[in-house]
Chains A and B, each alone.
Chain A
Amino acid sequence: MPCCGGDKSGKPISRLQYVAGRVAFRQLRTGISFGLHGAGLRSPRLARIATFWDQLSADWAKSIAAEEGILIGPQPEEVCTLEAAPPSHVAIGTGADDFGADWDDAWVDDAAPDAA
């Protein structure tokens, strides 16, 4: 989207933040509309601003309800990068030789008792 950024732009918010934001936005919208329409009774210019606000805030409300441009969910987890070489105490192998006979026996006994 050809849009300016801002450091918070497009960053995820939690579901709780979203719900709380909608409550705050509704109160803001109603409060400002009430104030502007009241003032607009005395001034045609303020009446125009009140109409502008009604249209702008209605467009915002629709867009917020549709979650347009809003990312709800957890913060992306940080990805751990692998070390170039493993620590010295870590052995690397296929795993085929790492289990002794005891393990093989235990596996057969527990996993397939009927075959014993």
Chain B
Amino acid sequence: MKEIALMFSGGVDSTMAACLLAEQYDRVHLLTYHNGHGTAHMGKTKRRVEELQAKCGRDKFVHMLTSTKALMETVVVDDLVETYAEYRSGFIWCMGCKLAMHARSAIYCLENGLTEMSDGSSGSTQEMVEQMLVSLSLIRAFYAKYGITFATPVYDIPREEEQKTLRARGFRMGLQVLGRNIGIQPSCYAGLVYYAPYMLFHKPPKHDEALVARFIEERSLRAHALVEGWFKQQGQEVPRLAAEGAA
């Protein structure tokens, strides 16, 4: 059976990615996370999963909703003030959150023998630090350590085209405001606040590529340690499990 995992919120990009992957894979594992620091309305993702199952087949999708709170706290929250003094940009919060999600996704893939992982990163939302090309290339390297390939199936699809396609397929699209669809996915209040200067003043976020790359490389070490620690607790070694998945 051909299977892949997808980081899934239920928004336009990840729903479009789920639709595309459902055409190419026998089963898509939808992974949804809440970080315990200002995320809400997780029920919206569940409703989106039901929509996908109704349109593409109930057995096509497996859904996991879990917390990354403890992982995120290790990756970035526990020394947040010191880290901010070093980087002087709030991207550390969003990128730290995302790294925790990727660590948890790697664990899921390893536990389930999945060698393919994906997310709904889009070129239409380049203002988001985790969707910068430098971030995505480093995340790809993060998964490669476990023998997992990482793909971004909707990166080059324009947002308008995604909206048109999903609307034509009968998906709920929420309220469209300034090109964004409101009310179809969970809310991340920290993320909303972080992009407030961008939304209010069109002020570009301070995402210096070299700094972002340094942060990801440095904190990836913590994320790898979390993955290894997860399996050690169960008396397992990560590389052996990865080899089984690759087989």
Contacts A7-B124, A9-B127, A49-B77 given; indicate if A64 touches B197 (C-beta within 8 A).
yes
Contacts A24-B200, A28-B196 given; indicate if A5 touches B126 (C-beta within 8 A).
yes
Cα A46 to Cα B188 with chains together (Å): 17
* B132: interface (CB < 8 Å): yes
Stretch at the interface among B11-19, B53-61, B202-210: B202-210
Contacts A45-B73, A48-B80 given; indicate if A4 touches B127 (C-beta within 8 A).
yes
Interface SS of B by simple majority = helix
Contact indicator per residue, chain B 74-92, by CB within 8 Å of chain A (1) or not (0): 0001101100110010100
Determine the interface band of chain A, counting residues with CB < 8 A from chain B.
35 or more
* B198: interface (CB < 8 Å): yes
**Chain B residues whose CB sits within 8 angstroms of the CB of A9 once the complex forms:** 127, 198, 202, 204
| CB closest residue in chain A, given B37 | A49
* B193: interface (CB < 8 Å): yes
* B129: interface (CB < 8 Å): yes
**Chain B residues whose CB sits within 8 angstroms of the CB of A64 once the complex forms:** 197, 201, 203
Q: Which residues in chain A, 1-56, are within 8 Å of chain B measured between CB atoms?
A: 1-13, 17-18, 21, 24-25, 28, 32, 45, 48-49, 51-52, 55-56
Q: Which of B125, B128, B197 is close to A25, meaning CB atoms less than 8 Å apart?
A: B197
**Chain B residues near A (Cβ < 8 Å):** 37, 73, 77-78, 80-81, 84-85, 88, 90, 93, 124-129, 131-132, 179, 193, 196-210
12 A-B residue pairs with Cβ-Cβ distance under 8 Å, sorted by A, are: A1-B208, A2-B208, A5-B126, A6-B125, A6-B205, A9-B198, A9-B204, A25-B200, A48-B78, A51-B81, A52-B80, A63-B203
